[in-house]
Amino acid sequence: MTDIPRRAVTRTAKLATLPLGFAGRTALGLGKRTIGRPAEAVALEVQRRTAEQLFAVLGELKGGAMKVGQLLSIFEAGLPEEVAGPFRSSLTRLQEAAPPMPAATTHRVLAEGLGPDWRDRFAEFDDRPAAAASIGQVHRAVWHDGRAVAVKVQYPGAAQALMSDFAQISRLSRLFTPLFPGVEVKPVIADLRRRLEKELDYLDEARAQTAFHDAYAGDPDILVPAVVAQAGDVLITEWLDGTPLAQVIAGGGREERDRAGLLLFRFLLSGPARCEMIHIDPHPGNFRLLDDGRLGVMDFGGAARVPAELQWSIGRLLRIGTLGDPDEMVRVLREEGFLAPDGEVDPAQVAALVAPHAAPFAVPRFRYSRAWLREQTARGFGLASDMRPGALARQLRLPPQYLAVSRALSGCGGVLCQLEAEGPFRAEAERWLPGFADEGPAAAGAEATA
């Protein structure tokens, strides 16, 4: 398997290089300001250098440090292209599959979880992993009753290494600030730690997947495989065939891409309504487009609870965004904790930040695209990255109760842009979000395309 440096002194020393690099970049920025370089150019250079060093160190450490880099990728769309380029390249390296652990180690984990007679539970078991990542790997097998199953096996020692990384990274959270102006990174890191603890707990994942499986049983559009067995660091679920969403993105036809995008969005929005939970890891590797047209969903390690009152608040925020009233946006965002309670803000600037997020739901049909996303990101980045005293970015907050939903919807939006999917997304919001449906926006006559 991937060499995860486990000695605390080694991992701490690597993480300790980050503040030194940050101090150097800050001094460089101050120096360049004194010779007349624009503040925006200095900020971009600090961001670029921060991204390069941050993800180089996280990538070397693998484990929890790597996971931080992966999970922070939800903010990638908020970075200018000058920074997003190296950022995206670093994330791609972080997300590459890890080399598999030896078969003997896999067998030991299986024996610890399922018992010494674990082989008797399978009619067949393939020692070659079908997939490998930062926490564990998946093997294809046939259960004793003839069902094709996926056997998820956690790397030994992964939990200790991951939690050690998070303890270190939480103390260095200020280093992420230049990358994500306007985002309070410390509560984000704390939430990511809680999410990772859930990912490491295969019993918790089994419960979440079972809840989704039951909620979507017999659904004509969504398939969630059943949990077959769980014990220790082993999770066994029904195998899911189909076309990986990454292949649809790379070469799917227009009809296939639109259907995949609509079903992905429907699944994300309908989960809270059906079982008060949301799948918060919507990257293409977790989805398959089945031959019968359904969307198959995997990996529920990061599922988060979304109670009814939060569902209503999300719907209300989205509805207010589509109505285009800047003063109302400020009022509601302040009530929900997205703006500092006493800070002065320009409602027009707030509306400029909010409008892109609401645009897909202000019209009957909308087409997501990379070009649209780049345009909207560029429009909002200037406001969000301006950290001068009194600037809007200093008033922005991301309330903890919205962290998981933000991750899910941001990730979903990114995939929809990769698919360049077009569909009736407003109708889905009206169907599944109570706060949106109660007082929906006025119908618009034109379709939006980008």
Average pLDDT on 150-176 reads 73
Of the pLDDT bands very low, low, confident and very high (cuts 50, 70, 90), residue 447 is: very low
Q: What is the DSSP string of 183-241?
A: --HHHHHHHHHHHHHHHH-HHHHHHHHHHHHHHTTT-SSEE-PPEEEEETTEEEEE---
Unique residue bearing structure tokens 């009809």: 255
Average pLDDT on 382-404 reads 73
According to DSSP, the β-strands at 304-305 and 366-367 are unpaired
pLDDT at 211 over 50: yes
Q: Which tens digits make up the pLDDT trace of 85-144?
A: 554 455 444 444 456 788 999 999 999 999 999 999 999 999 999 987 667 899 999 999
C-alpha dihedral, 66 to 68 to 70 to 72, nearest 10°:
-150
Q: What is the DSSP string of 70-106?
A: HHGGGGGGGS-HHHHHHHHHHHHHHTSPPPPPPHHHH
Average pLDDT on 226-249 reads 96
Average pLDDT on 293-307 reads 93
According to DSSP, the β-strands at 136-143 and 227-231 are unpaired
Q: Which two tokens stand for residue 314?
A: 């999300």
Q: Which two tokens stand for residue 320?
A: 């207010």
Say what the pLDDT of residue 370 is: 84
Say what the pLDDT of residue 352 is: 85
3-class DSSP state of 137? strand
Q: Which two tokens stand for residue 287?
A: 């989805």
Of the pLDDT bands very low, low, confident and very high (cuts 50, 70, 90), residue 392 is: confident
274 membership: H or E segment, kind and range: helix 254-275
Say what the pLDDT of residue 122 is: 98
CATH numbers and ranges of domains, the chain? 8-96+159-185 (no CATH), 103-158+199-238 (3.30.200.20), 242-450 (no CATH)
Q: Which two tokens stand for residue 326?
A: 């800047």
Query: Which of the residue ranges 32-36, 162-166, 317-321 would you say has the lowest mean pLDDT?
Result: 32-36
Q: Which two tokens stand for residue 121?
A: 């539970």
Number of other residues whose CB lies within 10 A of the CB of residue 93: 13
**Which residue would you say has higher pLDDT here, 106 or 282?**
106
Say what the pLDDT of residue 181 is: 52
